Amino acid sequence: MPGLLKNAHRLLDFTTCLLQESHHTFYINGPFLANSDLLLTCDPANVNYILSKNFTNYSKRPEFVKIFDILGEGIFNSDGHLWEIHRKTTVSLFNNARFYYLLQKTVMGKVEKGLIPVLNHVWKHGIEVDLQDIFQRLTFDNISSLLLDHDPQTLTLDSPDIPYLKAITAVEEAWLYRHILPESIWKLQNWIGLGREKRLKEAWEAIDKYIYTCISMKREQVVRTTSPHMPSADEDDKLDWTTAYMELAYKESMGSPDKFLRDTLFGLMAAGRDTTSAALSWFFWLLWKNPLVESKILEEIRKNLHTNELKSWMLFNKKEELHKLVYLHGALCETLRLYPSVPLNHKAPTQPDILPSGHRVDKNSKIVLSFYSMGRMESIWGKDCLEFKPERWITKKGEIKHEPSYKFTAFNAGPRSCVGKNISLTQMKIVATSIISTYRVQVIEGHPIVPRDSVVLEMKYGLKVRLSKRTECSDPTSQE
C-alpha cells in the first residue's frame, strides 16, 4: 500500500513493474479491515481462464455494480438473462447490413462537415489545438447520431461547451478511484459531497439531462412519423437504433422503461466515444514519434486508394476499401497493444477457485486484470515489446495476423468480448486516413504526455499539436 500511494501518479507503470518482477501475478494487501486486498495479474493463462474457460464463475458481483452504479441496468453492469438480451439485441443490430452503411455515412459526413473544416481552420491560422478534444467531439457526435438519432454538433469551429463531454471524464476518474479506495471511504465522500464523488454526482445529472432529452425528442419523432399523414422513412437508408431499444425497454425492464433505455444507451455511448477517441490520440502521438511508420501508412494509402485529393474520405464506399489498408490496421493494433483504451478489468469469483498460475482466490476476491501490463511483457510479446512495430501484425504473405484475444486484450476476451470492435476500427481507419493523407501532425515541443487517472486510457493533458498541409510528394520523415 505505501508503494501504491507513492506511485499513484504512475499507477499503470508501477503495477507493470510489480508484475514483471513477480512472474505476472501479484497479491496486494490493503490496510487492515479496509477490504481492499486484491490479486493483480497479466498472465495470459489466468486471463483466458477468467474471461473464457471459467467465465460463469466470474460474473458481475455486487461490488462491481456498486462501483459502476451510474451504468444501471445497461449491458456492462448486467448479468444472466438480462445481459444475454442486451448482447443479443446489440449484436443483431451491429451485424445488420444497413448498420455498416449507416456507420460509414455518419462517420464520413462528420469528417466532411466537422473534422475537415476544423482542421483546415487550425492549419490556416497556425493554431495550437488539442487533438484529443477534437477526437472526443468527433466520436461523441458520431455515437449520438447512431444511437440517439441526434447530432449535437460539438465538432464545429466554435467548439461549444457541452456539459455531457466533461461529465464523462469526471465519471471515469471517479470509477478508477473507487477501485483503489476502500468502499467505506468513497461512500462517505459521496454522502458528504466531496472531491471526485461530488463531481460524479454533478456529472450524473448532466448525463441524465442529455440522454432523457434525446429520448423525449425521439419519442415525439416516432409519434409524428407513425402518423398516417406522415411519409415513412426510407428503410434502405436508416436503421433506427433508438426505436429498437425502446421496444426492448418496454419488453425487458423491471421498472421504468425510460430508465432502462437510458442505462442501455449511456453504457454504449460511453464505450463508443472515449475508447475510440483515446486510441486515436495515442495513435497520432506514436506516429509523430515514429515518422517511418507514418511514411509507410501514407504510401499504402496512396497505393491502394489512389488518392491525390484532400478529401480522401470520399473513397470509402465499401468495406473492401478499408481492408486494403493492412499496414494501417497493424499500426492501430500496435497502438492498442501498448495503450489499450480500457487498461484494467475488474473481476470477482462467485466460488473459491485456483487460477492456472496456482494462486488461490476466495469467494468475492477482488481480481484486477492489467491489459496495459500485458503489452509490456517480454515473455508475451518478445524483447521488442516496448517498440512500436506494426510489422508484428502482418504475416509473410502480407496479410493481417490475428492474435488470440487472451493475448491481445484491447477488445476484451470470451463471451464479453467487445461487440463494437469492427465499428471502432472502421471509424479509426476512416479518420486516420483522412488526416494522414491531408496533414502532418506535429506535437508541441515539451508538451507532457501522461495517462489520465481514469478507467479509460486518455491523455491527462490532451494532445497539443500544430498542423501543416501535406503535398502529394511530401515525406513524413523529412524535416520540412
Q: How far apart are CA 223 and CA 454, in angstroms?
A: 40
3-state class (DSSP) for residue 475: coil
Cβ neighbours for 262, distance < 8 A, ≥ 6 positions apart: 72, 208, 211, 212, 215
d(CA 408, CA 385) in angstroms, rounded, equals 12
Chain centroid offset of residue 125 CA: 31
145 neighbors 153 (Cβ within 8 angstroms): no
* Phi-psi category of residue 80: left, alpha or beta, with phi > 0 → left and psi -120 to 50 → alpha: left
3-state secondary structure at position 479 = coil
* Cα–Cα dist 64/124, whole Å: 48
d(CA 108, CA 105): 5
Separation of alpha carbons 13 and 43, rounded Å: 16
Binding residues for heme: 418
* Residues making up the binding site: 418
The total number of residues shown for the chain amounts to 480
Three-state secondary-structure class, residue 401: coil
CA distance 134 to 161: 13
Residue 177's Cβ-count burial label (10 Å; 0-12, 13-18, 19+) is buried
**Grid coordinates given for 281:** 490520440
